[in-house]
Amino acid sequence: MQRGFIFDLDGTIYIDNQLIPGALDTVQKLIQRGDKIIYFTNKSIESIATYVQKLRALGIEVQDNQVVNSNYLVARYLEKNIAQQANVMVIGENPLIEEIEKIGIGCTWNPVETSYVIIGWDREFTYEKLNLAFQAWKKGATIIATNPDRTCPVASGEIPDCGAMIGALEGATGEKVELILGKPSVQAAKFITQELMRLPPEQCFMIGDRIETDIKMGIESGMHTVLVLTGITTKEIVNQSQYQPEFIVDSIRDLIDATTNLNSKGKDLRKK
């Protein structure tokens, strides 16, 4: 039975520019036995082309259509939902802006002209940007976020991610940002399993290091879930979470051994 494996990147496949031990061997074994692989990152500060280049530099075979990021999902949503001639305000970095402009949507800093405010990870986030987004919201703009991650794992620990920008705008508006298009979006999961992998969710695995995005999306979309402990999440965090992964492994090197107990219908996986 062919299976689908959806991998988070930061904290799962690599940290910064260092491949996590066992990642290459695990991916190669999955490829050799004919499984489908997608790499799905919430990180909005790089383009898909950059991720492809990075994975190849680390020795992982990958094609452009095997990588999905939150920028792509935002652009895909806007292409289907935004009115012609509408503009968006982007709190984010160039890869997010370029992904949106690539489909012909204009970007503006004028709150009056703004139909959507897009919030991504912005390492040059300022009070001025916050105020412009707030003014656009007051004039009726819809707020969309790339991802809810509060932090991103790096070699030295963690640094603030898009969740920090979301928190600032939620503090100003008093409203929760509900429309998030990266993980844990069930719509994102359906797009990957149905359109990219063309496999039922019960034959797919979501592998990641973060409970509130990777594991939550996997559970809510009907996939099997594997939490790796090489990134953000600790066992203590797992014990306190309402979202319980089917498997917890020390790292990706343990993935194949942990997921070999499925029967032909793909429904036997249980945490041991």
Domain residue ranges of the chain, discontinuous segments joined by +: 4-42+183-258, 71-180
Q: Is the per-residue pLDDT at 272 higher than 80?
A: no
Looking at per-residue confidence, does 271 or 190 come out higher?
Answer: 190
Is the peptide bond prior to 201 cis by the omega test (within 30 degrees of 0)?
Answer: no
Residue 119: its pLDDT value, please?
98
Q: 71-180: same fold as 4-42+183-258?
A: yes
Q: Which CATH architecture has domain 71-180?
A: 3-Layer(aba) Sandwich (3.40)
Which residues 6+ apart lie within 8 Å of 182 measured at CB?
Answer: 42, 44, 69, 70, 73, 145, 146, 147, 148, 188, 213
- Residue 157: CA atoms inside 13 Å, Cβ hemisphere, count? 3
- Chain segment 169-189, per-residue pLDDT in tens: 999 999 999 999 999 999 999
pLDDT band at 83 (very low <50, low <70, confident <90, very high): confident
**Whole-structure pTM value:** 0.91
d(CA 27, CA 32): 9
CB of 11 closer than 8 Å to CB of 213:
no
For helices 162-173 and 127-138, give the axis angle rounded to 10 degrees.
50
Mean pLDDT of 49-55: 97
pLDDT band at 58 (very low <50, low <70, confident <90, very high): very high
Two structure tokens written together for 43: 């990180």
Long-range contacts of 106-112 (CB under 8 A, 24+ apart): 111/135, 111/136, 111/138, 111/139, 111/141, 112/139
**β-bridge pairing 87-91 and 114-119:** parallel
Hey, which CATH number is domain 4-42+183-258, 3.40.50.1000, 3.40.50.2020, 3.90.550.10, 1.10.10.10?
3.40.50.1000
Q: Is the per-residue pLDDT at 62 higher than 80?
A: yes
Residue 85: its pLDDT value, please?
84
Mean pLDDT of 207-230: 97
- Percentage of residues in the chain with pLDDT exceeding 90? 91
Two structure tokens written together for 29: 């074994």
Mean pLDDT of 43-57: 97
Residue 261: its pLDDT value, please?
67
pLDDT band at 262 (very low <50, low <70, confident <90, very high): low
Q: Is the per-residue pLDDT at 111 higher than 90?
A: yes
Tell me, rounded to whole angstroms, the distance of Cα 172 from its chain centroid: 25
